[in-house]
Amino acid sequence: MAALNNPPPRALTVTHRVLLVAALVVMIFHLAVYLSYTANLMAFPFDYDQGEGFELYDTILFSQFESPYRDLEPYPYYASNYPPVFHLIAVPFAWLFGPEYWYGRLLGFLGTLITAYAIGYAVWRDGVLRSERGNLTIAVLAGLAFLASNITYRQGPLLRQHMSMVMFETLAVVILTQAEAMVFQTWRKRRLFLIGFGMLILAGYTKQLAAYSAIAALGWLFLRNPRRAIAWGSLFALVGGGIFALLYVTTGGEWWRQAIAANVNTIFWPQVEGLFRLWYGLHGFLIVPAALLCLYELYFDRLSLYTVWFGVTLLLGGVSSGTWGGGDSYFATSVAGLSLLSGIFFSRWLTGSFVFPPGNYLSGLFRAFKPLAPIIVRAALIIVPLLYIGYGRAVLKMPTTGPVFEPLAAWWGITPNALNGFYDSAGRIAGGYSDIGHFVTEQDHINAERIADYIRQSEKPVLSEEAGFSFRAGRDVVSNPTQLLNIWLRGQYDGSQLIAQIDRQEFGYVILRAQFYPTRVLLAIARAYDTVDVIEMNGFEYIIKAPHQRRGGSDRYFMQ
C-alpha cells in the first residue's frame, strides 16, 4: 500500500485533527484519573491491596542485610515468595525513610510511565524506519493507551513488583528489536543485545512471570539467527543461573522452596475464560488492529519480536491468570504489547507504508485493491482517532464523588458500581478481578488507625493478616499468611509451632480480613480467640479477635 502522492481534502484533514485532539483529551482524562488515584494511595500508610505490607517488609529486611527467604516454621513465621529486584531498588528509600508505603507505590507508578514512554518510542521509531518520519501523535496516544488500561491503572501505583517487571520486559523487547535492526555486528549492536538481555534478567528477578518474555525473546532470536540465539541464550542462562544458584546457596535452599516451589499452583479454568473475556471487552478497539499487524507480519513480512512477545505473553500469561494468586495483572504485559502493536499499525496505515511483496502468493489479492489504496489510507484519518476514542470509553473508570468527578459523573449518567463510590467499566464479571481501583476515604484512614490502636495497646505480639497495622504501631510483623498457605498447599508446611502459640493465646490479638491462613491455623484461631470488633476499612471487614475466656460458642465472622 503506497503512501499518498496527493494531499487529502482540507475538510478531511481538519476533521482528522479535530478527532485526534478529541482522542488526546480522552486519554489525558484517563491520565488525570490515574494521577489522582496514585496521589490518593501514596498518602495512605496502610495496606490497600492484599500483601503490600509484606512487600514492604521484604525491603526492610534487605535494608537490614537480612534475607526474606527463610524457614516458615519458627517465629515470626515469615518468608517471601517474590524475587528481590523490586525490593532492592527500594532499599535506599528504606534507609532514608524507614517502613513507608509511599516510595514503593511511587516506584510502581514511575515504572508504568517508563513503560508508556518505551511504547511511544517504539511506535515513533517504526515510523521513522518505514517512512522516514515518525508519527509523534500516534506514539503519544499509544503510550497513553497503556496507562489508560484498567489493568495498568489498578496495578500501577501499588506497592507491588508486577509493573516494574512489565517495565523491564518492555524495555528489553524495544532494545532487542533496535539491536536486531542494525545491519552490521558492531560493538553498539552487541552492547544493545547485552543491555536487552540484562533487562530480561532484571525482569525475571523482579517477578517469575517474566520467564514468558524470555521465552519469546529467545524463540524470536532463534527464528532470526539460530547461532546468535544459542550464543546469547547460553550467556543469558549462565548469568541467570548463576544468580539463581547464589540465592539458593545463601538461603540454604529456601529461595527454591519459597519463590519457586510455592508458586506452582493449579489452574482454575473458569477464571481464565472470564479474564480473557474481560481483557477483550476492555481492549478490543486496540486488540483488533494489533492482531491485524500480527497477521500482516505472518504472511507478508518477518515476524517481529513485538508480535512474538505479544503472542507468547498473552497465551502463557492468560492461562497463568487462573492460578491461585493470579488475576487480571497477568495480562499487563500483553496490554503493553497490544498498545505497541496497535500504535505501529495505526502509524503505518496513516502513512500508507504497508508493503505487499510481489512474490507472495497473497499479494496478488491485495494488488487487486490497489486502485482503492487512496481511499483506504484516507479512511485511516477518521477511523484511527475514532478507535482511540472508542477505547477510551471502553476502559472508563473514575470516582463519582468530589468537586470535579461528581458533576462529570452526573453529566455522563455514570453511577458507581465499585467500592467507595467508584465506577469501573470492567465491573466484576470475572473471578480474579479484585476489588481495587477505588479511592481511599478519610474514614478509611480513621478506621485503619483504630485497628492499629489494638496492636499499640497489646503487650503481646499480634498476629495480623496485613503488615501495615504492625508497621504503624511500631511492632513486629508476624507471619505471611499467603506464603504459609502456598507452602501448606504444597504439603511442605507443618505449622505446629504457630498453632501451639495460638492455642496458648500468646498473641494479644488476631486481625483477619481475607482469612488466607492454612485451614489448620484458622481452626486454631477459632478455638482460642473470639471476635471483639469488626472494623470496615477500604470496603472490607477487618475482624479483631482477642483471647476468649470460654470454650465453645459460635463465631459468625469466622470463615464467611
Residue 176, CA distances (Å) to 163, 172, 232 in order: 20, 6, 12
Q: What is the model's pLDDT at position 468?
A: 95
Whether the CB-CB separation of 149 and 282 falls below 8 Å is answered with yes
Radius of gyration of the chain measured on its C-alpha atoms: 26
Same domain, residue pair 462 and 339 = no
Whether the CB-CB separation of 500 and 74 falls below 8 Å is answered with no
Residue 215, CA distances (Å) to 84, 175, 209 in order: 21, 16, 11
3-state secondary structure 176-238: HHHHHHCCCCCHHHHHHHHHHHHHHHHHHCCCHHHHHHHHHHHHHHHHHCHHHHHHHHHHHHH
Residue 21, CA distances (Å) to 14, 185, 222, 326, 466 in order: 11, 42, 42, 37, 45
Same domain, residue pair 457 and 352 = no
Q: How many beta carbons lie within 10 A of that of residue 368, not counting itself?
A: 9
Residue 206, CA distances (Å) to 83, 123, 162, 210, 376 in order: 5, 26, 8, 8, 44
Number of domains in the chain: 2
The sign of the CA dihedral 390, 395, 400, 404 is: negative
Same domain, residue pair 124 and 209 = yes
Choose the final residue of a domain: 355, 371, 393: 393
Residue 153 inside a domain? The answer is: yes
Same domain, residue pair 355 and 269 = yes
Q: How many beta carbons lie within 10 A of that of residue 370, not counting itself?
A: 12
Q: What is the model's pLDDT at position 434?
A: 79
Q: What is the model's pLDDT at position 371?
A: 66
The grid cell for 554 is 459460635
Residue 115 burial (C-beta neighbours within 10 Å; 0-12, 13-18, 19+): buried
User: CA 303 to CA 221: how far, in whole Å?
Assistant: 10
Q: Which DSSP letter does residue 398 get?
A: E
Q: For the chain, what is the largest distance between any 2 Cα atoms, rounded to a whole number of angstroms?
A: 88
Residue 320 inside a domain? The answer is: yes
Same domain, residue pair 293 and 362 = yes
Q: What is the model's pLDDT at position 555?
A: 46
- The phi and psi torsions of 287 (rounded to 5 degrees) equal -65, -45
Residue 164 inside a domain? The answer is: yes
Same domain, residue pair 348 and 226 = yes
Strand (E) or helix (H) holding 546: strand 540-547
Same domain, residue pair 449 and 378 = no
Residue 59 inside a domain? The answer is: no
Same domain, residue pair 279 and 170 = yes
Same domain, residue pair 377 and 504 = no
The sign of the CA dihedral 78, 79, 82, 86 is: positive
Q: What is the model's pLDDT at position 556?
A: 44
Could you check whether the bond before residue 518 is cis, i.e. omega within 30 degrees of 0? no
User: CA 148 to CA 391: how far, in whole Å?
Assistant: 9
Same domain, residue pair 387 and 450 = no
Sequence-separated (6 or more) residues with CB below 8 Å from residue 465: 481, 511, 512, 513, 514, 515, 516, 517
Same domain, residue pair 179 and 273 = yes
Q: Give the pairing type, strands 540-547 and 463-464.
A: unpaired
Residue 65 burial (C-beta neighbours within 10 Å; 0-12, 13-18, 19+): exposed
Choose the final residue of a domain: 377, 393, 409: 393
- Edge-to-edge strand list for the sheet holding 510-512: 463-464, 510-512, 540-547, 529-537
Strand runs labelled E in 20-150? none
- The residue whose grid cell reads 526492610 is 60
The grid cell for 147 is 496507562
Residue 99 inside a domain? The answer is: no
Q: What is the model's pLDDT at position 369?
A: 63
Residue 122 inside a domain? The answer is: yes
Whether the CB-CB separation of 231 and 218 falls below 8 Å is answered with no
Residue 343 inside a domain? The answer is: yes
User: CA 309 to CA 297: how far, in whole Å?
Assistant: 13
Domain containing residue 498? 442-547
The sign of the CA dihedral 154, 156, 161, 164 is: positive
Residue 1 inside a domain? The answer is: no
Choose the final residue of a domain: 336, 362, 393: 393
**pLDDT averaged per 10 residues in sequence order, the chain, 560 residues:** 67 95 98 98 95 96 96 94 96 97 98 98 90 88 98 96 97 95 80 96 96 97 92 94 96 92 87 94 97 92 95 96 90 98 96 77 63 80 97 97 92 92 84 85 96 96 96 95 91 93 96 94 96 94 89 43
